[in-house]
Amino acid sequence: MASRANHRVLLRCAVLCAAALLCSDVTAVSAAESPSATPVAASNFPIASAARLAGDSKQTRFVLDLDKTIQFRAFALADPYRAVLDLPQVTFQLPAGAGTGGRGLVKAFRYGLVMPGGSRIVFDLTGPAKIAKSYVLDAANGQPPRLVLELEEVDRTTFVQSLSVESRPELRPAIAAADATDAAVPVAAFKPAASADLRPVVVIDPGHGGIDNGTQAGSESEKSLVLRFGLALRDRLEKSGKYRVVMTRTDDTFIPLGDRVRIARNQSAALFVSIHADALPRREGDAQGATIYTLSDRASDAEAERLAEAENKADAIGGVNLTEEPTDVADILIDLAQRETRAFSNRFARLLMGEMKTTVRMHKRPLKSAGFKVLKAPDVPSVLIELGYVSNKGDLEHLVSENWRSRTVGSMAQAIDTFLAKRLATAGAAN
Ligand SMILES: [Zn+2]
């Protein structure tokens, strides 16, 4: 019972902590805009210096060494089975490869930022397990402060019952609060700048981020490659002054897939462009070049299907409870809007291919479609671009080259110009 009481205290702390995060969220965003403020704040975050697993497939213990005690929240998620630790923003200085190997009930774990001010550790479990205990120990006997998570094997029924209301994740507190006030905008930065600004909105969506690294090639991770690209595209588009450009993320933060779609919809975006850089399992050969994807219920080929599956896993990777995602409204109006939107998405994809192929190496079949969750806004034309394969040496050289990036950004900006000029002309004629 003592651990139960502890749990309650922790939960109460977590609520306070979440409230603090909510407030710090806004300040963190404005602080990020003034470059000098960020490094100062970064040095104050607790540091996690080591992590270890002990035990067996019945009971497994995870220990994280810290430089100060922290408040946290622990909860479990089903399908796939995961355990999640939500922490205040932590600077992870764990050895390279930490979390890739498992032990006992833990297959592997990931860690990183899920929002400004909030970090998360997600454990992939081998099967249903309950969080038997979770606590923070003060420094003692030459040991640093430690966060301890104890997992115990249970059957599925017990596991599902243990997902009680109080242990249900609120996902990101900022999102929960925004949803509650019916203004489903994750952070202040995503609010429209001014209602008087009638320029079309282009949403650029650098894939992955924070706890979700995307694909990895040596020291280069997809999340940072696509962020650099997205920011360059933003700068190029903003220079023309014709559009208002909204980024789904401008730093190394995790954004759930549903939120990316929500940002595009809340902004009544004229176009949504998601940026990724794929990798191919070795056995599937050595594909190369850029590919442009649109949404389809049926994948255009096996590779497109595999890729959509991989990209759709982002929420599970980031510890978002998939069962809590609102189900799509099956409505005839949405269906009609979707059909029109898909026609526009396909038109943009073809335009984009036409522009890109003059400057960039394209995949041998550059236009494909599959069920990407991030492309599901029923009213915003959306495409997902895989810039190239980080698993291909030549593509990777391009992806990290500033010259290549600049040329590719140029051809994409050209395609966006052509697409939106036509759309706006048509819209104007209709009025
Ligand atoms: Zn990706």
Please name which of 358, 348, 357 lies closest in space to residue 419, comparing C-alpha atoms.
348
Q: What is the whole-number distance in angstroms between the Cα of residue 401 and the centre of ligand 1?
A: 19
What's the CA-to-centroid distance between 164 and ligand 1, angstroms? Answer: 33
**Greatest mean pLDDT range, 17-21, 318-322, 377-381:** 377-381
State the Cα–Cα distance between residues 52 and 135, nearest whole angstrom: 15
Helices 332-356 + 402-430 axis angle, to 10: 130
Give the distance (Å) from ligand 1 centre to CA of residue 43: 30
pLDDT grade for 44, boundaries at 50, 70 and 90: confident
CA angle (79, 148, 57) in 5-degree steps: 50
Ligand 1 centroid to Cα of residue 384, in Å, is 9
Work out the average pLDDT over 396-413.
93
- Mean pLDDT over 40-48 rounds to 75
How far apart are the CA of 311 and the centre of ligand 1, in A?
5
Q: What mean pLDDT is predicted for residues 275-294?
A: 82
Query: CB count, 10 Å around CB of 103?
Result: 17
Backbone φ and ψ for 344, nearest 5 degrees, come out as -65, -40
Distance 101 CA to ligand 1 centre (A): 22
**How far does residue 376's CA lie from ligand 1's centre (Å)?**
16
- Ligand 1 centre to CA of 52 (Å) is 29
Question: In angstroms, what is the span from residue 184 Cα to ligand 1's centroid?
Answer: 24
Ligand 1 center–CA 296 separation, angstroms? 17
CA of 223 to the centre of ligand 1 (A): 8
> Which domains are delineated in the chain?
2-32+185-430 (3.40.630.40), 42-180 (2.60.40.3500)
Better-scored residue on pLDDT, 421 or 34: 421
Taking the C-alpha atoms of residue 145 and residue 150, their distance in angstroms, rounded to an integer, is: 16
- Which amino acid appears at position 398 of this protein? H
According to DSSP, residue 143 is labeled B
Helices (DSSP H) in 313-399: which residue ranges? 314-317, 332-356, 393-399
Contact assessment for residue 100 and residue 216, using Cβ atoms and an 8 Å cutoff: no
Task: Kindly report, residue by residue over 246-284, the tens digit of the pLDDT.
Answer: 999 999 999 999 999 999 999 999 999 999 998 876 666
pLDDT value, residue 26: 33
pLDDT band at 337 (very low <50, low <70, confident <90, very high): confident
Give, as one character, the DSSP assignment of residue 254: -
- Distance (angstroms) between ligand 1 centre and the Cα of 120 equals 20
d(CA 209, CA 383): 19
pLDDT at 11 over 60: no
Question: How many angstroms separate the CA atoms of 123 and 129, rounded?
Answer: 11
> What percentage of the chain reaches a pLDDT higher than 90?
58
> pLDDT over 70 for what percent of the chain?
76
Tokens of 412: 């994409």
Condensed to tens digits (0 to 9), the pLDDT of residues 97-126 reads: 899 999 999 999 999 988 888 999 999 999
Q: What is the mean pLDDT of residues 327-349?
A: 76
Cβ atoms of 113 and 254 closer than 8 Å: yes
**What per-residue confidence (pLDDT) applies to 31?**
36
Residue 23: its pLDDT value, please? Answer: 36
Q: How far is the CA of 207 from the centre of ligand 1 (A)?
A: 5
**pLDDT value at position 402?**
93
Distance 399 CA to ligand 1 centre (A): 14
**Amino acid in position 262:** R
214 alpha carbon – ligand 1 mean position (Å): 5
- CA 260 to ligand 1 center in whole angstroms: 14
Which token pair is 336? 């009609």
- How much is the CA Rg of the chain, to the nearest whole Å? 22
Q: What is the DSSP letter of 114?
A: E
Rounded (10°) CA dihedral 155, 158, 161, 166: -100
For residue 255, the CA-to-ligand 1 centroid distance in Å is 13
Å from CA of 4 to ligand 1 middle: 40
